[in-house]
Amino acid sequence: MPNTPIKVAVSGAAGQIAYALLFRLAQGDVFGPETPIDLRLLDLPQALPALKGVTMELDDCAFPLLTAIRTTDDPRVAFDDIDAAFLVGSRPRSKGMERRDLLAANAAIFKTQGAALDAVAKRSVKVLVVGNPANTNAWVAIQSAPNLPEGAITSMIRLDHNRAAAQLARKAGVSVDAIDHLAVWGNHSPTMFTDWSHASVSGERLAARIGDDGWYRDTLIPEVARRGTAVLEARGASSAASAANAAIDHMRDWVQGSDGRWVSMGIPATGEYGIPAGLVCGVPAVCRDGRYAPVNSLDLDVFTRAGLAASVQELIGERDAALSIVST
Ligand SMILES: NC(=O)C1=CN([C@@H]2O[C@H](COP(=O)(O)OP(=O)(O)OC[C@H]3O[C@@H](n4cnc5c(N)ncnc54)[C@H](O)[C@@H]3O)[C@@H](O)[C@H]2O)C=CC1
Ligand SMILES: O=C([O-])CC(=O)C(=O)O
């Protein structure tokens, strides 16, 4: 094997998303078929026995690219010298827990993990936060990692982007690949805003091809926003394989490039579109040469601006609720 292994950490590694993610990572779906991979699996002490079972299964797949697996409950061990991290583990909502309590519990986790990344990860590390509330968890991690370059830590809104793309492709009778310039803005929460105003299919405006503005406003936007809840109700468990698939898509495009196509990513805002600088917000982006660049200077219509502003207000509220944890 000619290449040096890439070191990749996954937190929440004993959980259901990781169970769909790890095997695809080890197969080369993110870093390519020529890149050996050294996995660092992080979970809570009580989950380590189950995590042992996952590592046994990884071994039993005999993946040629998988050169090493290390399990730990210590973020500093997991993140030592890593090139990439998928931060999936977070505290789920439990009975009687208010949203504020959930934010506080997760802010504490992501403060610790951000500080560990700051201390021991490679300066070129690429971090994707999946664990909810993903945008605000990423914001907390960024505040705790002042020595990492700006843009090292992102959050996932790609599942929402993929959900929208699939529904639009079906409605238009085209393949998902034919759709470009689609965006999902804002928070990964029911306030997220699916935007087809720039979307195209083979050079034609997608909105004109579908020709049903009522369906866009009254069906697509709310269905994408509530899709996570609908899957949870149907399956009796929250989205796992599709969440892992979106995490793979997000990191693969970031590493390998999006070929000029728009993807949606939760990234620290630059002040564009009235989003306060630094807030981690879903925006359209293009990835090239291992970097992402937000799509700036778009002309947003009144409906889109209002949808984005509502989601940004929610993010500001979450950030302010997390602020006291970060600053103590
Ligand atoms: N951003 C997105 O689009 C999506 C986000 N999610 C979120 O992803 C997260 C994980 O979901 P699942 O895998 O289904 O949950 P899960 O409950 O099956 O697994 C979570 C794992 O994280 C571990 N964990 C908890 N705190 C930890 C910590 N401080 N350090 C390391 N590990 C820790 C748990 O022990 C457990 O093994 C949830 O927060 C969920 O809401 C889920 C779907 C989509
Ligand atoms: O609420 C959850 O845990 C699941 C989730 O984010 C989604 O499916 O979009």
Q: Is the pLDDT of residue 96 over 90?
A: no
Please check whether residue 184 is in contact with residue 192, taking contact to mean a CB–CB distance below 8 angstroms. Answer: yes
β partners of residue 8? 39, 84
| Domain made up of 6-155: CATH architecture | 3-Layer(aba) Sandwich (3.40)
Q: Is residue 86's pLDDT more than 60?
A: yes
Please give the structure tokens belonging to residue 53: 């079972």
Q: 206 alpha carbon to ligand 1 midpoint, in Å?
A: 35
Distance CA(80)–CA(76), nearest Å, equals 6
| Of 49, 54, 48, residue with least CA distance to 25 | 54
Question: What is the rounded CA–CA span in Å between residue 164 and residue 282?
Answer: 14
List ligand 2's pocket residues with C-beta within 6 A: 132, 159, 228, 231, 238-239
pTM: 0.98
Q: How many Å is the Cα radius of gyration of the chain?
A: 19
List ligand 1's pocket residues with C-beta within 6 A.
11-12, 14-18, 42-44, 47, 88-92, 109, 130-132, 134, 156, 159, 188, 238-240, 243
Which amino acid appears at position 50 of this protein?
Answer: A
* Residue 106 assigned ligand-binding role: yes
Check if the beta carbon of residue 75 is closer than 8 Å to that of residue 42: yes
Is 104 marked within a binding site? no
Which ligand neighbours the alpha carbon of 72 most closely? 1
From first CA to last CA, the distance across the chain in angstroms is: 47
- Nearest-angstrom CA–CA distance, 216 and 194: 9
pLDDT at 326 (0 to 100): 83
Cα separation, 9 vs 3, in Å, equals 19
Cα gap 306→283, rounded to integer Å: 15
Report helix, strand or coil for 305.
helix
168-196 b/e (C-beta count within 10 Å ≥ 16 → b): bbebbebeeebbbbbbbbbbbbebbbbbb
Q: What is the DSSP letter of 47?
A: G
For tokens 């505040």, name the residue. Answer: 143
- Our mutation pick for probing the ligand 1 site, out of 90, 99, 111, 235, counting the most ligand atoms within 8 A of Cβ, is 90
Atom of ligand 1 nearest to the CA of 42: 31
Domain locations in the chain as residue ranges: 6-155, 158-319
Would you say 14 is a known binding-site residue? yes
Instruction: Single out the residue of 171, 84, 153, 72 nearest to residue 115, CA to CA.
Output: 153
Residue 2 pLDDT class (50, 70, 90 cuts): low
Give the atom of ligand 1 at the shortest distance from the alpha carbon of 159. 3
* Kind of pairing between the strands at 66-72 and 37-42: parallel
Q: How confident is the model at residue 311 (pLDDT cuts 50, 70, 90)?
A: very high
Q: What's residue 3's pLDDT?
A: 83
The ipTM (two decimal places) reads 0.99
CA of 88 to the centre of ligand 1 (A): 5
Take atom 7 of ligand 2 and give the residue whose Cα is closest.
Answer: 228
Beta bridge partners of 103: none
Kindly indicate the confidence band of residue 94, based on its pLDDT and cuts at 50, 70 and 90.
confident
Res 1: pLDDT: 46
Q: Which ligand is nearest to the CA of 108?
A: 1
Confidence of residue 99 (pLDDT cuts 50, 70, 90): confident
Residue 198 phi, psi dihedral angles, 5° rounding: -110, 0
- For ligand 1, atom 8, name the residue with the nearest CA: 131
Q: Which long-range contacts (CB under 8 A, 24 or more apart) does 24-32 make?
A: 24/244, 24/245, 24/248, 25/248, 26/58, 26/61, 26/63, 26/65, 26/66, 27/63, 27/65, 28/65, 29/248, 29/252, 30/84, 30/248, 30/251, 30/252, 30/255, 31/6, 31/84, 31/252, 31/255, 32/256
Half-sphere exposure of 74 (CA within 13 A, CB side): 6
Which residues belong to the active site?
188
What fold characterizes domain 158-319?
L-2-Hydroxyisocaproate Dehydrogenase; Chain A, domain 2 (3.90.110)
Q: What is the pLDDT of residues 267-294, one digit of tens each?
A: 999 999 999 999 999 999 999 999 999 9
Instruction: Say whether 158-319 and 6-155 share the same fold.
Output: no
Identity of residue 296? N
For residue 271, report the distance from its CA to the centre of ligand 1, in Å: 30
Q: Is the pLDDT of residue 26 over 70?
A: yes
* Best mutation site among 187, 239, 250, 264 for ligand 2 pocket (most ligand atoms within 8 Å of CB): 239
The model's pLDDT over 161-186, given as tens digits with 9 standing for 90+, comes to: 999 999 999 999 999 999 999 999 99
Pocket test for ligand 1, best of 16, 17, 226 (most atoms within 8 A of CB): 17
**Section 192-214 average pLDDT:** 97
